[in-house]
Amino acid sequence: MNNKKTSKTKSTRIQEQNRQRILEASLTVFSRYGFRGTRIDQIAEVSGMSRSNLLYYFKRKEDIYRAVLNEILAEWLEPLRAISADGDPRIEIGAYIRAKCKMASSAPEASRLFANEILQGAPMINDILTGPLKTLVDEKAKVLQNWMDKGQIRRMSPHHLIFAIWATTQHYSDFDHQIKAILGKSIIDEEFGSEAAQSVEDLLLHGMLPRHPEPNID
């Protein structure tokens, strides 16, 4: 039953395939309707397999949900982790913003899944938010604070700055439908994606960099 039986039972490529198929379909449906609003049959339909078969791979609806969540969680936080205290803030934060925009463009459903989960009170990932996420954010806030102390970026609340980056970038995936209604363009569209990325990066960098064009301190 348990995957990984060390040597032999390799979870049979077919198993690997179907699990993946289910997870992909689940991401689509869960990201749209949230946990409670999602019906197993929908996932089955989207994944193109019978509900019975789907339940053969995941005993419970909640199991699928948690699996999807876990699968994208690490990758989701990666860009923030990548911010280096030793780098130049313009470069580091600029890269972070671009990475987040890239993700909004290439994985909008993941963003919406988290949005949905948070909206519903984060019942499944609350421990992650208050644990690893908080730790990571606090750590990077210190990095920002350090840059501020050195005068490399303007003095402001580092936490709020992080929230602003999250908000502006994720907005393009979470509210994609609204933006589509207003502009007729979607973040999925690569061209619009880079246009949005540039806008956000420009606005935020200008907002956080000191007014007097900071002399190169090399």
Q: What are the residues binding a second copy (CB under 8 A)?
A: 31-38, 112, 115-116, 118-122, 126, 129-130, 133-134, 137-138, 154, 156-157, 159-161, 163-164, 166-168, 170-172, 174-175, 177-179, 181-183, 195-196, 199-200, 202-208, 211, 213
Look up residue 100 and give its amino acid. K
> Residue 123's CB: how many other CB atoms inside 10 A?
9
**What residue 171 binds from DNA, a second copy, none (CB within 5 to 8 A, per partner kind)?**
a second copy
Rounded-to-5 percentages of helix, strand, coil across the chain: 75, 0, 25
Rule CB under 7 A: say whether 14 interacts with DNA: yes
CA nearest to 97, candidates 170, 26, 18, 7: 170
> Is residue 56 close enough to count as binding DNA by CB under 7 A?
yes
Binding part of the chain for DNA, among 1-9, 66-74, 86-94, 99-107 by CB under 7 A, reads 1-9
Q: Is 41 in the site for DNA (CB under 7 A)?
A: yes
Closest of 187, 201, 202, 205 to residue 97, by C-alpha: 201
Residue 120 as a binder of DNA (CB under 7 A): the answer is no
Helix (H) or strand (E) run with residue 173 in it: helix 158-174
Tell me: does residue 216 bind DNA (CB under 7 A): no
Smallest separation (angstroms) from a second copy to the CB of 5: 38
| Segment contacting DNA by CB under 7 A, of 60-68, 106-114, 150-158, 163-171 | 60-68
Distances (CA, A) of 71 to 20, 27, 44, 130: 10, 10, 19, 19
